[in-house]
Each structure stands twice: as structure tokens, then as C-alpha cells.
Amino acid sequence: MPYDEKPKPGSDTDSREVKEEKFSFIQETIKPKPVTRRKILTQLARIGIYGLTFGAFACLGFFALKPWVQSRFQNIPKTVTIQQDEDEGTAQTKTPDTAETVSPALNADSYKEIMSSMHDIAKEAGKSVVSIQSSDKGMNFSSEGNGTENSVAGLIAADNGKELLILCDNSVCADAENWTVTFSDGSKYAAALKKQDKNSGFAAFSVQRINLTTSTWNSILVATLGNSSLTTEGDAVIALGNMFDYAQGLGYGIISSNTYEEPIADGRYGVLTTDIPAESGGTGVLFNLKGEAIGMIAPGIWENTESNTTKALAISDLKSTIELLVNGESVPYVGIYGTTINDTVAEEQNMPAGVYVIEVKPDSPAMAAGIQSGDILQKIAEAKVSNTLSYEKVIVSSKVGAAITMKGKRRGANGYVDIDFNVTVGKLE
């Protein structure tokens, strides 16, 4: 048959094509075996065995890697951030503490209840108070010892995940290289000096978290730093520490004044005075009835007076310094004692407004730059300084070793003239 010739109807070729078309839809189907209960149980058992095997290897891997993980990541402490107080314009009005509310009908039973309540607050707050002693000079274990030899009271101010960080008076740093911390449960641990600042008179010590036992952990707390700016005269307070020439002292009283200040170079701290008796040179912590630390009892406050009551530096004014110290950073230092010349005083005295330099510390960065008593500073590093508070904020936010420009006025023969100083920010450690 020719190639292009069509097959005739009824031919064999035509019959095969019809059959192929007729049966082309038929496909082979494999029918699955029926799922039995035994097969299901076998599969579940197999999955369980795989799970147990994986879990066992995971546990072994965890315990094998745990020491490596701890040693690696405990060497990376977190940066501590001290919560600053709200601005005066946005701060909430102080509300009376529940424990401060006294029933009008005060009798012996209600007095006992009040004192019991205050003791509970003091006991909880005391978990954050420690004693730091120089172990270089030896410990006095005699029966006549009062527990304050070569020691100061300290506050557990922060925890960076690797260390407990303790704030205290820096007098314990003098001529010492080794220190011991005694916690509220009586346990003792080695402490290392993190950083000190001789200008403010404070130091930060660290204790390794990994060294603390479970018993010690359960008996201590990191302190809550309160807003001392909300403290008013007559507020009930609790003093804890070495105020009475013996360790772990406790005193109750009230705030007798909050209007005074203690000047230091490049700033000033508010002073909270109380009616709680104290020995000269005593150290400790002042708490409010919320259990918040509101002041550090320091030995150098009004050291030239004969007052024998407990006085503390307001914690709110210390927060910037505390944050630097607990992070192991140096506190910036320039060395100027100043006072504010506001617009009213400037107009009355016919002088420029700004920060009037009262005194310049010897061998300070300010003296090296040529700043003198009587100069009036008005601008630092392009920031306007109109009072001592703004001056302090600029200095404490500067970096040690940084060069900053100070601008202001100096009185000459023909009146005040412009002055510029290049100051290298230093430190006093």
C-alpha cells in the first residue's frame, strides 16, 4: 500500500487503532495493604524509641557543653543601666506610704504593730546591705571586736549577670589590695575593686555570682534605688549599716531636713539629715518605708560640724556616678567648684549669667587649662550652661580623655571679655 494511501474501512490497521482508543483509559492501580492495629502499634513504638534516643543524646550534649557555655558567656557581663528619676515637671505627686499612715487613736498595741511593720521592712531592705572589709589588714576575731575594723557598709546596687556590684564609701580602698564582703546571712566572699572615684568618695566592688551558694542567694537582694527628690521633712526612714560604730546597726527616725547640699568638684549632692544618732565616721544606707534606698550615709558629710546625727547623700544625685562605677568606667573630672549666676543676680550685680567659678582644684584639668576663680562659664562643648546642674550634666556625660572647649567671660580692666579654654577631661581615682 502506498505511503500516503489511507487505509480502507474494515482493514486490520483500522481495527487496531480502534482498540487502542477504546482501552487507552485503563491504568494499573496498586491497592494498599490494609492498616492493622499491630502495624500502628509497631509504628508508634518505633517513633517512641527514636524520641528517647534523640532525647538521651540531647541531654548528654547539654551536660557536655554546659561548662563551656557557662565559662564563655559568664565572661560577657551586661551593661548596667541605672533608672534615672523623672523630671520634676513630669514626676508624680508623692502619695503617702501605707506604713506612714497612723491611726488617730494610737495606743500600745497599735505602736507595737507599727514597729513590727517597720522591722519587717528593715529586715527585707537589710538583704541588700553588706559589710566590706580590707582583708590585707587582717580580721579582728577577738570577742571585744565590734565588726567595723577596717570596714564600711555597702549596698548591692546592681547585677550584670556575671557579678554582684556593690556601692560603698571608698575609704576602704586606702592601702588595700584584697577585700572581703560579708552578706546579710553572715557568709563571706572575696571581692574585687571595680572602680573608685575619689572626687565623690565612692567605690564599686564586684563579687562573682558563680561563687555564691544557694543559701546566700536566697538571703540577699539587689537594692531598689528610690527617688530621693520626693522625700520631704517628717518622712519616716530606716538607717542600716555601721552608723553606731558596730556592724549591722539598725535605726528608725524621720527626715529632719532635705534643703542642704554637699559641694564637690564639678557638682553638688543633696543631703538628707535625720534625727537618728550616729557616730562620726559611720557608714550605711538610708531607706524609705517602701524599702527603697534613698541615701548613702557617708562619713565626710559636714565633717567640720559637731552634729552626731545620721546624714546621707541623696541617691538621686548619685545615680549617674553609680552607673559609671558599677560598669567599671571612670567618672569624668575637671575640678571646678561653682555657683549659679541667674539672670536676676546678673542684672543686680552687673555681671554675665552662667556658672561662676568659686575655686579651682590644684593639679586639676581646669587648672591646667588656665581657668581661674572669678571666671564665668557659659558654654561647654557647644552646650549652654546656665546653672551648676546643667554644668554637671555636661561634665558627667563627657568621656575621660576627651578634649572639650569651655567658653565664658573674665573680668578685665575694661569689663568682661570673652575667654576660651581647651580642657582635657580627667579622672580622680
In the chain, the percentage of residues whose pLDDT exceeds 70 is 77
Residue 303 lies in a domain: yes
Same domain flag for 112 and 188 = yes
Q: What is the CATH number of the domain that holds 418?
A: 2.30.42.10
Q: What's the pLDDT tens digit per position in 349-393?
A: 999 999 999 999 999 999 999 999 999 999 998 899 999 999 999
In this predicted structure, what is the pLDDT of residue 357? Answer: 98
How confident is residue 188, by pLDDT bands cut at 50, 70 and 90? Answer: very high
Higher pLDDT, 110 or 221: 221
Range of the structural domain that residue 342 is part of? 336-424
Whole-number pLDDT of residue 302: 78
Q: Is the pLDDT of residue 293 over 50?
A: yes
Which CATH number goes with the domain that contains 294? 2.40.10.10
Please check whether residues 213 and 234 belong to one and the same domain: no
Residue 171 domain-assigned (yes or no): yes
Q: Where do we find the cell 487613736?
A: 105
**Any domain includes 206:** yes
160-173 pLDDT, tens digit per residue, is 999 999 999 999 99
Q: What is the mean pLDDT of residues 177-200?
A: 96
Whether 246 and 316 map to the same domain: the answer is: yes
254 shares a domain with 171: no
Q: Where is mean pLDDT largest: 47-61, 97-111, 215-229?
A: 215-229
Question: Which pLDDT value is given to residue 67?
Answer: 58
Confidence band for 78, pLDDT divided at 50, 70 and 90: confident
Number of structural domains in the chain: 3
What pLDDT is attached to residue 192?
Answer: 97
Residues 122 and 213 placed together within one structural domain of the fold? yes
**pLDDT tens-digit readout, 307-351:** 789 999 999 999 999 999 999 999 999 999 999 999 999 999 999
Q: Region 222-228: what's the mean pLDDT?
A: 97
Q: Would 1 be classed as within a structural domain?
A: no
Write down the pTM of the prediction: 0.77
Of 326, 351, 371, the last residue of a domain is 326
Q: Give me the pLDDT at residue 58, please.
A: 66
235 and 200 in a common domain: no
Look at residue 296 and tell me if it is in a domain: yes
| Mean pLDDT on 60-67 | 62
Read off the pLDDT of each residue in 261-270 and give the average, rounded to a whole number.
95
Predicted confidence at residue 180, as pLDDT, reads 96
- pLDDT for 107: 82
What pLDDT, on a 0 to 100 scale, did the predictor assign at position 300?
A: 78
> What pLDDT does 3 receive?
45
Please provide the average confidence, as pLDDT, over all residues in the chain.
Answer: 84
